[in-house]
């Protein structure tokens, strides 16, 4: 072990010393190059700097790591090695041991964790001073250790942490989707097929590490090198910033796939494939991880007309659900999802909910499974103004059902699929991190709505459009002019809602709080009409366009955009 974490483990964590209590000095424009961490955007949130250095061996405020190491101290993540009565030592150039890293990440998480009575790892007994932190790593799925032919896995607590292992640990900690392999190398020394390539790619796109510049050419990541304690400070600081609240799109989107015809909904699968519905062709297209698009299946029974056709898709395990317009109704059908990437196909259709009214417009059509495992569907008023306020009609509602179409016993109206009523044409639903459901809804000619959905609540249509004064109806938490929005798909990722705007031809980022809701628009007019948005790989956002006209090759695309923390004011 090349550093002494004893005091890191035994001294109390300074939980009360949070950044809000600290004198703030923003260190802007930090450039860290040639030191294994790499150039990165300047910190977006203010890092604090104490009146005098906290460590005896990190005293130069102009050092590229000074801010991050001070942050480690102020945040209570590392108090260094005690040198009483002198200041502690941080030992910035030392390698980080795996047990110290476990402790740092555990403290960063702010979690309180009760470790199991029996050890998970063969080399970390309950008597280890790092036992709680290392068991927390295991419980969070951040590290499963090294499997042994017999007996429990080994954690190897004294080993140094390699930069590639670090990438995997922090990406898992941050909740990055690591199932999709990168297709573009970011670093000279990390080929796309490399072990940990997805995690290292996430380090790049999230801005946690941009490697060591090698001009000209791609930077180096140095995956096998040990992580120094100063680099660890920078990594954890940036990871912490990623988790610090809302984000916004930045930069020019990249094209993931093209050739689509009026796509309506997309579902990203854990296998790396993405399934996309095309409204008028009634085809489900499979977008492979490398961007190749193949026709996966034609959904039977779809009769496209006006705004109806093959609309929402959802996948749960090996079941695919589709919201479709037929000759006689809108309905939700399920299929077995067969095969795998490149060979996906559908089994026989099983209708799980028939008789949803249909019309030329206002068909709703979004379906998603919620955190409660139930299937939710948005249904428009189907041009029948009596439907939204009539509990016996499925029109103008958000519905909640079991995966077989059954009525959950805890729905707000006994025996009814109705979850909320008084909607005009809701086409977007998403749940925030607390499990609260939100929805986007097309207004008639004045106000589009962003609603927080409460079971059994009435959202006012057709009596009220947008924010009104009738206490019988729940007001939207935000409203747009229909010219600026006409909102369809809704996604929630990284503490931020994203709204796909059709007529508005842009992506809205929405930030609701208890006190007020703000919204910012991005890419207005640049990519045409936007139908859907979903969380993309590595903390990105995917955007689905809706512009195809005519009978030639498809012109709609899936775009990927980076998300960065919103600037703090
Ligand atoms: Ca309303």
272 shares a domain with 237: no
240 shares a domain with 291: no
DSSP code at position 54: S
Domain count, the chain: 2
CA distance 379 to 423: 8
**447 CA from centroid of ligand 1 (Å):** 9
CA distance 476 to 135: 44
Q: Is residue 286 part of a domain?
A: yes
Per-residue burial over 306-315, b = 16 or more CB atoms within 10 Å of its CB, e = otherwise: ebbbbbbbbb
Token pair in block for residue 53: 């250095």
**364 CA from centroid of ligand 1 (Å):** 15
Domain-ending residue, one of 244, 275, 292? 244
Q: Is residue 391 part of a domain?
A: no
Q: Is residue 281 part of a domain?
A: yes
Q: Is residue 563 part of a domain?
A: no
CA distance 157 to 121: 10
CA atoms 257, 261, 262, 265: torsion sign? negative
267 shares a domain with 239: no
**506 CA from centroid of ligand 1 (Å):** 22
Contact indicator for 412, 418 with CB cutoff of 8 Å: yes
Dihedral Cα 192, 194, 196, 202, nearest 10 deg: -10
Nearest of 225, 226, 179 to residue 202 by alpha carbon: 179
Q: Is residue 333 part of a domain?
A: yes
**366 CA from centroid of ligand 1 (Å):** 18
> Which are the contacts of 215, defined by CB distance < 8 A and separation ≥ 6?
none
298 shares a domain with 347: yes
CATH number of the domain bearing residue 322: 2.40.10.500
**360 CA from centroid of ligand 1 (Å):** 21
Contact indicator for 539, 176 with CB cutoff of 8 Å: yes
Q: Is residue 153 part of a domain?
A: no
237 shares a domain with 317: no
> Which are the contacts of 16, defined by CB distance < 8 A and separation ≥ 6?
none
**379 CA from centroid of ligand 1 (Å):** 14
CA distance 223 to 227: 9
Element (H, E) at 197: helix 197-205
Q: What pTM value is reported for the model?
A: 0.65
Range of the domain at 342: 262-356
**523 CA from centroid of ligand 1 (Å):** 27
**423 CA from centroid of ligand 1 (Å):** 6
> CB under 8 Å, gap of 24 or more: what pairs does 61-66 form?
61/27, 64/30, 64/31, 64/32, 64/35, 64/37, 65/32, 65/35, 65/37, 65/92, 65/230, 65/231, 65/233, 65/234, 66/27
Which residues fall inside 5 Å of ion ligand 1, going by CB?
Answer: 459-460
**446 CA from centroid of ligand 1 (Å):** 12
Beta-strand runs (E) in 233-358: 247-260, 263-268, 274-278, 283-287, 293-298, 310-316, 319-325, 330-338, 345-346, 350-356
239 shares a domain with 280: no
326 shares a domain with 238: no
Q: What is the pLDDT along the chain (569 residues), one digit of tens a residue?
A: 333 333 343 333 332 222 222 222 222 222 222 222 332 333 333 344 445 888 999 998 888 899 899 888 887 889 888 888 888 999 999 999 999 999 999 988 777 788 999 999 999 999 999 999 999 999 989 999 999 999 999 999 999 999 999 999 999 988 777 877 788 888 999 998 888 999 999 898 888 998 888 877 889 999 999 999 999 999 998 888 776 678 899 888 999 999 999 999 999 987 779 999 999 999 999 999 889 999 999 999 999 999 999 999 999 989 999 999 999 999 999 999 999 999 999 999 999 999 999 999 999 999 999 878 899 999 999 999 999 999 999 999 999 999 999 999 999 999 999 999 999 999 999 998 778 999 999 999 999 999 999 999 999 999 999 999 999 999 999 999 999 999 999 999 888 999 999 999 999 999 999 899 999 999 999 999 999 999 887 668 999 999 999 889 999 999 999 887 777 54
Q: Is residue 564 part of a domain?
A: no
**543 CA from centroid of ligand 1 (Å):** 26
The CA-atom distances, in angstroms, between 457 and each of 349, 401, 417 are 33, 17, 13
Contact indicator for 405, 421 with CB cutoff of 8 Å: no
Domain-ending residue, one of 356, 373, 402? 356
Q: Is residue 331 part of a domain?
A: yes
**441 CA from centroid of ligand 1 (Å):** 8
**421 CA from centroid of ligand 1 (Å):** 9
> Which are the contacts of 294, defined by CB distance < 8 A and separation ≥ 6?
285, 286, 288, 342
Domain-ending residue, one of 297, 324, 356? 356
**459 CA from centroid of ligand 1 (Å):** 4
């Amino acid at each position: 072990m090349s550093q002494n974490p004893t005091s890191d483990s035994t001294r109390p964590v300074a939980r009360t010393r949070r950044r809000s209590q600290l004198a703030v000095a923003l260190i802007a424009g930090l450039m860290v190059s040639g030191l294994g961490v790499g150039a990165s955007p300047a910190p977006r949130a203010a890092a604090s700097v104490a009146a005098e250095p906290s460590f005896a061996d990190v005293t130069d405020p102009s050092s590229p790591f000074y801010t991050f190491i001070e942050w480690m101290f102020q945040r209570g993540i590392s108090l260094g090695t005690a040198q009483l009565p002198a200041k502690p030592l941080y030992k910035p150039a030392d390698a980080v041991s795996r047990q110290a890293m476990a402790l740092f990440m555990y403290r960063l998480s702010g979690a309180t964790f009760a470790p199991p009575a029996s050890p998970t790892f063969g080399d970390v007994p309950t008597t280890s001073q790092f036992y709680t932190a290392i068991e927390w790593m295991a419980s969070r799925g951040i590290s499963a250790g090294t499997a042994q032919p017999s007996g429990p896995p080994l954690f190897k607590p004294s080993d140094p942490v390699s930069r590639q292992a670090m990438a995997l640990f922090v990406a898992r900690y941050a909740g990055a989707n690591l199932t999709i392999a990168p297709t573009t190398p970011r670093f000279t020394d990390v080929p796309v097929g490399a072990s940990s390539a997805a995690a290292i790619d996430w380090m790049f796109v999230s801005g946690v590490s941009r490697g060591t510049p090698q001009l000209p050419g791609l930077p180096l990541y140095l995956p096998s090198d040990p992580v120094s304690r100063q680099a660890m400070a920078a990594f954890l600081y940036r990871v912490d910033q990623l988790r610090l609240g809302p984000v916004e799109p930045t930069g020019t989107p990249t094209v993931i796939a093209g050739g689509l015809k009026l796509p309506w909904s997309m579902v990203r699968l854990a296998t790396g494939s993405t399934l996309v519905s095309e409204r008028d062709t009634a085809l489900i297209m499979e977008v492979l991880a490398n961007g190749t698009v193949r026709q996966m299946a034609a959904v039977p029974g779809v009769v496209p007309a006006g705004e109806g056709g093959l609309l929402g898709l959802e996948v749960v395990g090996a079941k695919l659900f589709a919201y479709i317009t037929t000759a006689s109704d809108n309905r939700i059908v399920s299929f077995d999802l067969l095969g795998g990437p490149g060979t996906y196909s559908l089994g026989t259709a099983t209708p799980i909910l028939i008789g949803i009214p249909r019309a030329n417009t206002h068909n709703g059509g979004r379906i998603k499974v919620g955190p409660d495992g139930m299937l939710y569907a948005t249904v428009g008023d189907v041009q029948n103004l009596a439907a939204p306020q009539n509990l016996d009609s499925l029109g103008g509602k958000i519905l909640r059902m079991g995966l077989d179409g059954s009525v959950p016993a805890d729905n707000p109206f006994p025996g009814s699929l109705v979850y909320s009523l008084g909607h005009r044409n809701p086409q977007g639903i998403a749940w925030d991190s607390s499990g609260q459901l939100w929805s986007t809804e097309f207004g008639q000619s004045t106000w589009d709505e962003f609603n927080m959905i409460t079971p059994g609540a009435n959202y006012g249509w057709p009596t009220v459009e947008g924010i009104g004064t009738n206490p019988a109806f729940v007001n939207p938490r935000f409203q747009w002019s229909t010219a600026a929005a006409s909102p369809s798909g809704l996604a929630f990722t990284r503490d931020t809602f994203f709204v796909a705007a059709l007529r508005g031809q842009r992506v809205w980022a929405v930030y609701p709080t208890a006190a007020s809701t703000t919204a910012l628009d991005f890419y207005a007019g640049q990519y045409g009409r936007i139908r859907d948005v979903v969380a993309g790989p590595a903390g990105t956002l995917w955007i689905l366009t809706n512009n195809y006209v005519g009978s030639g090759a498809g012109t709609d695309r899936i775009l990927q955009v980076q998300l960065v923390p919103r600037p703090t004011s």
